[in-house]
Amino acid sequence: MLKLYTYFRSSAAYRVRIALNLKNLEYEAIPVHLVKDGGQHLKEDYRRVNPAGAVPALADRELSLSQSLAIIEYLDEAYPYPPLLPADPAARARVRAIALDIACEIHPINNLRVLKYLTGQLGLTEEQKNAWYRHWVEVGLASVEARLTTGPNAALTGKFCHGDHPTLADCCLVPQVFNARRFGCRLDHVPTVVRIDAECRTLPAFVAAAPENQPDAE
């Protein structure tokens, strides 16, 4: 059985949970708490699973993988139905671009270790940290909204980020919107993002992957 090393609030792990559920793949969830015990992801035992000391990590028999997008692309190739990337090269590139807008442009400057550095070493207050978070998430989601609604490829946006079936892009979008709401980000400027998020969350695969439905939820 597949093993997913996960933390209920990790947006990167949330992406992989969605992908596993969309593909109807059974897996064992192994919680790795990012705060307790100084961060269980930093312990030697976990670093033997993922030397980078981050979640998620996926074990498939003898194979161990990290980085959420790499994991999802592996799942899409090893377990191809239903596909999370379109068959057409141009369509695949568009889906990846939307996913990377989130995973590379929004997420890295707002993940837990960055926020802890802001309030720790740099001495920012909680209010200042949250203002940082809200600013960059709101700016980043505006870029996603623009990609979905303007330009020559906007017509390819459907019920979901690309067409009428969930893709890698939706696996990334929903966790980011969850975190945006958690930190009180405004979303009135991204109506298409909000609409797609709502559509996704009607599907059982997304519901089952939600943070509040995880065994380690607090």
Q: Is the pLDDT of residue 70 over 90?
A: yes
Average pLDDT value over all residues in the chain:
91
**Where exactly are the structural domains of the chain?**
2-82, 89-206
Tokens read off for 204: 């059982």
Own/partner contacts of 195-201, CB < 8 Å, gap of 24 or more, are 196/148, 196/157, 196/159, 196/160, 196/161, 196/170, 197/173, 199/159, 199/160, 200/160, 200/166, 200/170, 200/173, 200/174, 201/174
Residue 26 phi/psi, 5-degree rounding, is -75, 140
Quote the DSSP letter at residue 157: B
**pLDDT score of 43:** 59
| Peptide bond preceding 56 in cis form (omega within 30 of 0) | yes
β-sheet with 2-6: strand ranges across: 27-31, 2-6, 57-60, 63-66
CATH number 3.40.309.10 given to 2-82: no
Task: Tell me which of 101 and 217 has the higher pLDDT.
Answer: 101
The residues, any chain, with a CB within 8 Å of residue 208's CB and separated by 6 or more, are 17, 21
Q: Is the pLDDT of residue 106 over 80?
A: yes
Tokens read off for 48: 């033997």
Quote the DSSP letter at residue 83: -
Task: Tell me which of 41 and 30 has the higher pLDDT.
Answer: 30
Task: Tell me which of 12 and 123 has the higher pLDDT.
Answer: 12
**pLDDT score of 41:** 67
**pLDDT score of 40:** 67
Tokens read off for 169: 């892009």
Residue 29 phi/psi, 5-degree rounding, is -90, 125
Residue 4 phi/psi, 5-degree rounding, is -115, 120
Give the mean pLDDT of 1-30. Answer: 94
Give the mean pLDDT of 19-30. Answer: 95
Give the mean pLDDT of 160-175. Answer: 97
**pLDDT score of 167:** 98
> pLDDT tier at 188 (50, 70, 90 boundaries)?
very high
> pLDDT tier at 1 (50, 70, 90 boundaries)?
confident
Give the mean pLDDT of 99-114. Answer: 88
Q: Evaluate whether 152 touches 182 at the Cβ level (below 8 Å).
A: no
Percent of the chain residues topping a pLDDT of 70 = 96
- Closest by CA to 176, choosing from 143, 131, 150, 213, is 143
Question: Out of 1.20.1050.10, 2.60.120.380, 1.25.60.10, 1.10.1240.10, which CATH number does the structure's domain 89-206 have?
Answer: 1.20.1050.10
Q: How many Å apart are CA 22 and CA 206, to the nearest integer?
A: 8
**pLDDT score of 17:** 97
Q: How many Å apart are CA 40 and CA 47, to the nearest integer?
A: 9
